[in-house]
Amino acid sequence: MKGLKGACMFAQSGGPTSVINSSAAGVFTEALGQELITEVYGAAHGIKGVLDEVFYDISKEDPKEIELLKYTPSSALGSVRYKLKPVEKDDSDYKRLLEVFKKYNIRYFFYNGGNDSMDTCNKISKFINGSGWECNVIGVPKTIDNDLYGTDHCPGFASAAKYIATTLMEINLDAKVYDTGMVCIIEVMGRNAGWLTASAALAGYKGLGADLIYLPETAFDIDKFVEDVKEVCKKNNNKCIAVVSEGIKLADGRYVGEFTASSTDLFGHAQLGGVGAMLGNIVKEKTGIKVRAIELSLMQRCGAHLASKVDVEEAFNAGAEAVKAAVNGETDKMVVFQRDMSSGSYECKYKLMPLELAANTEKTVPTEWIVNNGTGLSDEFVKYALPLIQGDAKAPLEDGLPRFAKLKKVLAKK
């Protein structure tokens, strides 16, 4: 059964990625072509924009700029980290959303994000559908962390993985250029799932990787870490590259990163500094070898100039598929990716899964893929990740620099 004739609302939520806007382009392109969809709205700063009635009329945008969104990192509409309260405790936000949905005749709602965002999307879906207002709600997955349940992988992961692997290959060449020793510790994002950190193994597959890789999936022991580094250094002319997740945890479950916060500098100011810098200090003290701690920071999630073509296309399709599904009457679902190797090569199939399964479940790296006493990844990981990072897809150059999308952001008429 088809959906109703009416407006659609799209919003972006959570941490941005290199390809989240490609999903936006997919939603916009598909929605603008659908007869049942009368208006296409993009909310400013996720669900906040809907609550505050701040959203843009996407039909006013230049199609060329919508195309450029595919190659423009970060959330073009603005993101948000706003957690809706459980409806049984406080339903005021939900009532407000329903009010806005009715006022603008919103019959289609698409929410683009990771675990937390799917939780939000799930809560909205349940409330709206329970209210009697007919509106099809579909979640569009997104997260560099790759930790959403029920999907082979998540849009955003592959581009970040490609950034990390490429950058690690370059750092590998740089870090061994002198004939003197150097320990290089590279910190990668991912609080509880080690997919991004694991992608260092892709650089290793090309012969320019890390000697040691530490994921949050296995308990981290600082003394063992120092011994691991020493052992590599002994074999390797005092050179060692270690990649650590920002989310590595001690055996008792505490984040190693917890111990960095209260240090101070000469001025007495609290030192920011991550896990990599802290481990670097320890290694320096215990070995006397020169150490360089590198944090890939925001670059790994916004480095769209290194986006994977597969990722850009799949992110776009995830958005387009969400619209098609909603128009065809689907609701309360999230788009998921299914890997199909039946043709002998990698293909991605787009499916739907109940939203509640996606909400707040974390998918971590299978522990059987973690080898070498917790310091490496098996070939299974490389086999899993390699098809996802294929091809280049980046913004055209203008003055030698990327020409990113520029949206007009015309506010919808109230």
Number of residues that bind its own copies (CB under 8 A): 78
Among 22, 29, 75, 375, binds its own copies (CB under 8 A): 75
Q: Which is nearer to its own copies, 12 or 151 (CB)?
A: 12
- Show contacts with its own copies in window 205-234 (CB under 8 A): 205-206, 208
Among 35, 401, 413, 414, binds its own copies (CB under 8 A): 401
- Show contacts with its own copies in window 3-22 (CB under 8 A): 16
Q: Which is nearer to its own copies, 36 or 386 (CB)?
A: 386
Q: Which two tokens stand for residue 220?
A: 């981290």
Q: Which is nearer to its own copies, 70 or 162 (CB)?
A: 162
- Show contacts with its own copies in window 29-58 (CB under 8 A): 45, 48
Catalytic annotation, pick one of 93, 145, 211, 228: 145
Region from 79-87, 124-132, 315-323, 369-377 binding its own copies, contact rule CB under 8 A: 79-87
Q: Which is nearer to its own copies, 262 or 345 (CB)?
A: 262
Q: Which is nearer to its own copies, 108 or 404 (CB)?
A: 404
- Show contacts with its own copies in window 235-274 (CB under 8 A): 259-267, 269-273
- Rounded to the nearest whole angstrom, what is the least distance from the CB of residue 71 to its own copies in the complex? 11
- Rounded to the nearest whole angstrom, what is the least distance from the CB of residue 133 to its own copies in the complex? 27
Among 2, 81, 234, 235, binds its own copies (CB under 8 A): 81
Distance CA(82)–CA(124), nearest Å, equals 13
- Rounded to the nearest whole angstrom, what is the least distance from the CB of residue 226 to its own copies in the complex? 11
Q: HEC profile for the chain?
A: CCCCCEEEEEEECCCCCCCHHHHHHHHHHHHHCCCCEEEEEEECCCHHHHHCCCEEEHHHCCHHHHHHHHHCCCCCCCCCCCCCCCCCCCCHHHHHHHHHHHHCCEEEEEEEECHHHHHHHHHHHHHHHHHCCCCEEEEEECCCCCCECCCCCCCCHHHHHHHHHHHHHHHHHHHCCCCCCEEEEEEECCCCCCHHHHCHHHHHHCCCCCCEEECCCCCCCHHHHHHHHHHHHHHCCCEEEEEEECCCECCCCCEHHHHHCCCECCCCCECCCCHHHHHHHHHHHHHCCCEEEEECCCHHHHCHHHCEHHHHHHHHHHHHHHHHHHHCCCCCEEEEEEEECCCCCCEEEEEEEEHHHHCCCECCCCHHHEECCCCEECHHHHHHHHHHHCCECCCCEECCEECCCCCCCCECCC
- Show contacts with its own copies in window 97-136 (CB under 8 A): none
Q: Which is nearer to its own copies, 357 or 382 (CB)?
A: 382
- Rounded to the nearest whole angstrom, what is the least distance from the CB of residue 67 to its own copies in the complex? 17
Distance CA(196)–CA(168), nearest Å, equals 12
- Residues in contact with its own copies, shown as a per-residue x/- string from 340 to 379 under the rule CB under 8 A: ----------------------------------------
- Show contacts with its own copies in window 275-334 (CB under 8 A): 277-278, 280-282, 284-285, 291-295, 297-299, 301-306, 308
Known catalytic residue at 90: no
- Rounded to the nearest whole angstrom, what is the least distance from the CB of residue 146 to its own copies in the complex? 16
- Rounded to the nearest whole angstrom, what is the least distance from the CB of residue 206 to its own copies in the complex? 5
- Show contacts with its own copies in window 171-200 (CB under 8 A): 171, 173-175, 177-179, 184
- Rounded to the nearest whole angstrom, what is the least distance from the CB of residue 312 to its own copies in the complex? 13
Q: Which is nearer to its own copies, 9 or 80 (CB)?
A: 80
The string over 60-80, giving b where at least 16 C-beta atoms fall within 10 Å of a residue's C-beta and e elsewhere, is ebeeebbebbbbbbbbbbbbb
State the number of CA atoms in the 13 A half-sphere of 70 facing the CB: 24
Just list the catalytic residues. Answer: 145
